[in-house]
């Protein structure tokens, strides 16, 4: 298997068992898209027409983004997913290939490759995204099951919400790997599958939707309250990403909030995926959750300072912003 063995420059301690860029295999089961990116002066209001001066097409998809982020940080990464047979297929896997991800788990199915239409506000860097699943909707139980051996060899399995629930369920139940479940978007998964997540990674909105899957009552309270409530439902560990505010997490103790480094955002597209990729790269080495979250916050903060999703992820030559605390 071809893997990437780089790693960003990092001034903080790297005394993780197995070495900072060693450790076990990260197996990502997820989506592959072509991102069609439009930069606009402001996001259009309902009924408004906005003119853009450029259209860019990049590799994307939450699953592919997370795999690329982990591989560029030095992790050994393998991917399971699907492209279509259209003109976007080769472009969509280009980032995975360039990062050294094992592509043997990717199949081509008749029809279009997944696409994401991304508008980015030039003033704030905030984005809005419409996704067309395409081939990602064809990632089924049989496809995942056909790569059972790969999943059983992994130290960490990473899932998101951009593939069908039955495929995610099979992947989550395969082998004894640590499961990182990024429930984005929130899809209807069996509660026992969610309880396998260690950690469950969600943003502040997704965290409340995930909790609503366990409770019929309206979900209220702070982000820390949501973390504690999800833990009370039997989930071993929970991480809630807070964008520019950092993240909050717990694996059983009181929730810990970590501030993000001060950076100027130019494009937030894929920053959450950079976070998950970085988190998985560290957890695959055996790093404790707090160390992995601290590192992931810094990687996510780096990603927003560059345009695009995969093009913004740090590689061996990049210096991460210092922790805010």
Round to whole Å and give the CA distance between 128 and 44: 10
Kind plus residue range of the DSSP H or E element containing 66: helix 62-72
Map 96-144 to HEC letters. HHHCCCEEEEEEECCCCCEEEEEEEECCCCCEEEEEECHHHHHCCHHHH
Catalytic: 273? yes
Burial 238-269 (b: 16+ CB within 10 A, else e): bbbbbbbebbbbbbeeebbebebbebebebbb
Q: Pick the closest to residue 289 from 165, 153, 156, 119 (CA basis).
A: 156
Instruction: Please provide the distance, in angstroms rounded to a whole number, between the alpha carbons at the two ends of the chain.
Output: 38
Q: Cα dihedral angle (244, 290, 272, 323), rounded to 10 degrees? A: 40
Task: Name the token pair of 145.
Answer: 């099951």
Marked catalytic residue, from 102, 223, 267, 273: 273
Residues near 222 by beta carbon (within 8 Å), at least 6 away in sequence: none
Scanning the structure block, which residue is given the tokens 């992931």? 296
Round to whole Å and give the CA distance between 25 and 222: 35
Residues near 292 by beta carbon (within 8 Å), at least 6 away in sequence: 278, 279, 282, 283
Catalytic center residues = 273
């Amino acid at each position: 298997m071809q893997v990437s063995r780089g790693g960003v420059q990092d001034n903080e301690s790297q005394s993780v068992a197995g070495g900072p860029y060693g450790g076990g295999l990260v197996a990502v089961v997820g989506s592959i898209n072509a991102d069609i990116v439009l930069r606009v002066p402001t996001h259009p209001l309902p009924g408004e027409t906005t003119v853009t001066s450029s259209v860019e097409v990049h590799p994307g998809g939450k699953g592919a983004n997370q795999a690329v982020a982990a591989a560029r940080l030095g992790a050994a990464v393998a991917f399971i997913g699907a492209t279509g047979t259209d003109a976007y297929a080769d472009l969509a896997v280009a980032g995975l290939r360039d990062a050294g991800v094992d592509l043997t788990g990717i199949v081509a199915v008749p029809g279009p490759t997944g696409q994401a239409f991304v508008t980015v506000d030039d003033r704030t860097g905030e984005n809005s995204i419409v996704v067309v699943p395409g081939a990602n909707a064809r990632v089924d139980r049989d496809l995942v099951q056909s790569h059972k051996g790969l999943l059983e060899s992994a130290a960490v399995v990473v899932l998101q919400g951009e593939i069908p629930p039955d495929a995610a369920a099979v992947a989550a139940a395969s082998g004894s790997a640590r499961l990182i479940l990024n429930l984005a978007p929130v899809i209807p998964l069996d509660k026992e599958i969610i309880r396998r997540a260690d950690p469950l990674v969600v943003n502040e909105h997704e965290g409340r939707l995930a909790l609503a899957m366990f409770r019929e009552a309206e979900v209220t309270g702070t982000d820390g309250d949501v973390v504690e409530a999800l833990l009370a439902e039997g989930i071993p560990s929970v991480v809630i990403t807070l964008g520019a505010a950092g993240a909050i997490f717990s694996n059983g103790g009181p929730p810990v909030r970590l501030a993000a480094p001060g950076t100027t955002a130019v494009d937030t597209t894929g920053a959450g995926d950079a976070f998950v990729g970085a988190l998985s790269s560290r957890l695959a080495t055996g790093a404790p959750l707090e160390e992995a979250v601290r590192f992931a916050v810094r990687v996510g903060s780096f990603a927003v300072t560059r345009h695009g999703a995969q093009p913004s992820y740090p590689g061996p030559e990049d210096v991460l912003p210092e922790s805010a605390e």
